[in-house]
Structure 1
Amino acid sequence: MLIPKEVAQSIVHETESIMNRNINFMDEEAKIIASLNPDRIGDFHEGAAEVLRTKQKIVISSNETYQGAKPGINLPVRLHEQVVGVIGITGDPEEVNQLGSLLQRMTEILIKEAYLEEQVELENQARETFVKEWVSNRFDDEKLFAARGWMFGINIYKSRVAVLLEMSGFQEYWHKRIEKSDVDVKEELNLQRYRRALESLISQHFPEKNEHVLIPNGSSSYMLLLSVDEHKENQKQKNLITYRIKEIQQALEVTYKQKSVAGVGSLCGSPGELWRSVEEAERALRFGVDHQRPLYYFEDLGVEAFMYDLSESFRQDFIQRKLRPSQLKLIPDCLHTLEIFYKNNGSIKDTAEVLHIHKNTLQYRIKKIGEVTGYDPRNINDSTLIQIALAFYKIT
């Protein structure tokens, strides 16, 4: 099929909205593949067959003239001098004939736009495939792989940092729209256009002649492989990355009211190490989502760096054995108290000030927590177990 049904149906709706006429689109086999009347989809259109044979406009004056055809006008649709389909307007031939040239021209413009979009999409898919092979470390001959990269303008030998940028609430929002019974293929097209628009906006915040790489990463996130100057000290690198990501996040929110969360991996200096930075970015992203942090670096993770590798059942069992959350609930604000206590390095004075409670009240809470759990929050060995259990609890 030269023209996808989705594209044909989109063209039918676009032209009908302008001409306020019933429009049909027939493929290279003279079958109706798009129409405002869904009952006609799949029908053979003898008038279209004649157009395909002669490559000329056909005017139909009555229902009996051609099989499966109604009065109106049918015209060849060309792409690169090749007839790829037939477009028809139903109605009195004398009334719709003058619209014929306009309809034909409009349709050919839309077909050409769809074709160009498809070519760009194919190129994007090839580029995305290359990058996914790269970050999965699925290449044998590094020199050959590097040559493939040059075809896409990608230098795999640049030092890079992986960033995963996830759109908050994206999947839930579009799922609600698409699951409605009255939606059609236009909604799916709108979704794809929206995703490409977000991608375009992100890329606009890269400097000219940059060597950053950007590809979609699933339905609601994007992967950025930022080119980094490895000779700069770590904090300066981090400041530049933070500035760029925050600038992108702000633009997404201002332009599309789209909030996002970013996870950042470590610097990688060779093509075969990039997968590690991507994996680290994924862990940092998951932590950011779970803790409602818009930007988080893997290097800033503590026990969270490995806790996602553990099964949920293991984490739940650990929480129950070390925290006993059902019993801890009887102690006012106990989990928050523990979190602030450890953030302040176990200082009773500083923790009490942050919580706006008396030191005696805080000490009483800590003592009760120790009695309930069997682990003393002030003991260095016990506190390690409690902090790990707290970290698990936050992501359950």
Structure 2
Amino acid sequence: MIISQQVAQSIVEEVQKVVSVNINFMNNEGKIIASMNKNRIGDFHEGAFRVIETKETVVIQTDEKWVGAKQGLNLPVFLHHQIVGVIGITGDPDEYSQMAEIIRKMTEVLVREAYLDKQFELEERAKQSYIEEWIEGNWEDDKLFASRGWILGINIQVPRIAVIIDLVGFNDWIYQKLRNYQADVGGELEVQRIRREILRLIQDHFPEQSQHVIVPSGSTRYTLLLSVDEKITLKKRWEKVNYRLSKIQKAIASSYPFQSVAGIGRMYVEPREIRKSEKEAYLALQYAKTQQKQAYSYDQLGIESFVYELDPEVRNDYVYRILQPDEFPRLNQTLETMDVFFQENGSINRAAEKLFIHKNTLQYRLKKIYTITGYDPRVISDAVLLKIAAAFYQANELFSKE
């Protein structure tokens, strides 16, 4: 394993917190790649080079004897019985001789943790790449593709549904955090750390040996391909998934200053059909956002199930022909009024109560819609046209922000 400068510096800083001594880390070429004294980074350290050659501790009594070295102890750092670097302790060797072995062991523990993190990252990248290929459905050999899945611990033959969780407000929160880093690489490392934390939080809500697959998908989203029991009813399946999602979303909200929204696709048995479920989950997610719901299933969608598949220009043309949005000074209020009125099946009393307005005010708003558009929300045939126009408008607004 080649220790990066960032990892080495983090190791040096962690060790220094425990033992207040000046620590340096040299790579397998004898070059100082991390130090509490930043001026020494990049210098050649002859003592460390000798450690690499002999795999033995080198004690330096004076600053003059070795090129680029100061008085102190230099110890080999091993990973899997191979030397991966040298940890240097600046100061009187006699003073730090008893502490030196502890520092070396501590360093090796931190190197091992960095190695495991790297392996985890590589495995997650491989898994993510495989799942992207799976969702695209473009592989040629079914047996070969399934075998690759088995290597990663994924059985693509079980019935599954796709779920997409989107973190609402995550980017704004991250932006505020990054302002403290002033373009330092530490800022990006912090972002990646938080994303991994959230991934683990989601994964912790499923059994370790299950066939549920959870991977990051984009900067704010996580895709879940959940194995499900095809023998239970649709209602029971929805209840089980929604219960699990509710717990995940509560955990996210309690740990971070943002909320999450989820879209759920339908169940499919054939591996190539997971693409359909993922697309359905995405459409359900968009609708959940427009309705400010925590979760929505594709099976719950009406008009919205095809709204997002139409060309934006087609939707836009229809919106301006039917709804004429520019003519409404308070368009959001108008859309909310229609939405609640339709939800209450045209009941003036129930809709007015839900909107917290007098029923005469509601009647006035409905007449205003008729005056501007020529379509009356109280007439079924006109209401259908207006409902579709409102759904199209919301879809265009949402996708313009993507």
Q: TM-score, normalised by structure 1?
A: 0.89
Indicate the residue corresponding to 2:16 in structure 1.
Answer: 16
* 2:139 is equivalent to residue 139 of structure 1: yes
Indicate the residue corresponding to 2:259 in structure 1.
Answer: 259
Indicate the residue corresponding to 1:240 in structure 2.
Answer: 240
Cα distance in 2, alignment partners of residues 109 and 63 from structure 1: 29
Cα distance in 1, alignment partners of residues 42 and 240 from structure 2: 57
Map Cα deviations across residues 299-326 of structure 1 (whole Å, 9 max, x no partner): 2223333333456666555444433334
* 2:289 is equivalent to residue 295 of structure 1: no
1:356 Cα offset (Å) = 5.3
Cα distance in 2, alignment partners of residues 25 and 370 from structure 1: 75
1:172 Cα offset (Å) = 2.2
Indicate the residue corresponding to 1:205 in structure 2.
Answer: 205
Inter-CA distance 333–113: structure 2 relative to 1 (3 Å threshold): closer
**Matching residue's letter, 1:69:** A
Indicate the residue corresponding to 1:129 in structure 2.
Answer: 129
Cα distance in 2, alignment partners of residues 308 and 86 from structure 1: 58
1:79 Cα offset (Å) = 1.4
Cα distance in 1, alignment partners of residues 270 and 217 from structure 2: 22
**Matching residue's letter, 1:48:** A
What residue ranges of structure 2 are gaps of 5+ in the alignment? 398-402
Inter-CA distance 317–71: structure 2 relative to 1 (3 Å threshold): farther
- Alignment partner of 1:293: what SS? coil
Inter-CA distance 284–72: structure 2 relative to 1 (3 Å threshold): same
1:257 Cα offset (Å) = 5.7
Indicate the residue corresponding to 1:73 in structure 2.
Answer: 73
Which range moves more in the overlay, 118-127 or 151-160?
118-127
**Matching residue's letter, 2:243:** Y
Matches within 5 A, 1:39-58: 39-58=39-58
Matched-pair contact (CA < 8 Å) for 2:181–2:187: no
* 2:219 is equivalent to residue 219 of structure 1: yes
1:102 Cα offset (Å) = 1.7
Inter-CA distance 336–118: structure 2 relative to 1 (3 Å threshold): closer
Matched-pair contact (CA < 8 Å) for 1:331–1:369: no
**Matching residue's letter, 1:31:** K
Map Cα deviations across residues 316-339 of structure 1 (whole Å, 9 max, x no partner): 554444333343227994333222
Indicate the residue corresponding to 2:111 in structure 1.
Answer: 111
1:359 Cα offset (Å) = 4.8
Indicate the residue corresponding to 1:152 in structure 2.
Answer: 152
Indicate the residue corresponding to 1:334 in structure 2.
Answer: 334
1:107 Cα offset (Å) = 0.9
1:16 Cα offset (Å) = 1.1
**Matching residue's letter, 1:290:** T
Count residues with an aligned counterpart: 396
1:296 Cα offset (Å) = 0.8
**Matching residue's letter, 2:43:** D
Cα distance in 1, alignment partners of residues 112 and 256 from structure 2: 29
Map Cα deviations across residues 187-228 of structure 1 (whole Å, 9 max, x no partner): 544443433333233223224643222222223322111111
Cα distance in 1, alignment partners of residues 307 and 275 from structure 2: 19
Map Cα deviations across residues 95-130 of structure 1 (whole Å, 9 max, x no partner): 333332122111111112222222233223222222
**Matching residue's letter, 1:204:** D
1:185 Cα offset (Å) = 4.6
Map Cα deviations across residues 68-99 of structure 1 (whole Å, 9 max, x no partner): 22222211111122211111122233333333
Indicate the residue corresponding to 1:165 in structure 2.
Answer: 165
Cα distance in 2, alignment partners of residues 218 and 268 from structure 1: 24
Matches within 5 A, 1:302-381: 302-310=302-310, 315-316=315-316, 318-329=318-329, 333-355=333-355, 359-381=359-381
Cα distance in 2, alignment partners of residues 159 and 104 from structure 1: 50
Inter-CA distance 67–295: structure 2 relative to 1 (3 Å threshold): same
Indicate the residue corresponding to 2:275 in structure 1.
Answer: 275
Cα distance in 2, alignment partners of residues 105 and 8 from structure 1: 15
- Alignment partner of 1:266: what SS? coil
Cα distance in 2, alignment partners of residues 144 and 357 from structure 1: 63
1:357 Cα offset (Å) = 5.0
Matched-pair contact (CA < 8 Å) for 2:325–2:331: no
Matched-pair contact (CA < 8 Å) for 2:60–2:72: yes
Inter-CA distance 174–354: structure 2 relative to 1 (3 Å threshold): closer
Inter-CA distance 244–351: structure 2 relative to 1 (3 Å threshold): same
- Alignment partner of 1:286: what SS? helix
Matched-pair contact (CA < 8 Å) for 1:25–1:88: yes
Cα distance in 2, alignment partners of residues 269 and 394 from structure 1: 33
Map Cα deviations across residues 20-71 of structure 1 (whole Å, 9 max, x no partner): 2221111111111112233322222222112212222222233322222222
Which range moves more in the overlay, 306-315 or 49-58?
306-315
Q: Which runs of 4+ in 1 moved over 6 A?
A: none
1:186 Cα offset (Å) = 4.7
**Matching residue's letter, 2:126:** A
Matched-pair contact (CA < 8 Å) for 1:10–1:186: no
What residue ranges of structure 1 are gaps of 5+ in the alignment? none
1:168 Cα offset (Å) = 2.6
Cα distance in 1, alignment partners of residues 305 and 239 from structure 2: 22
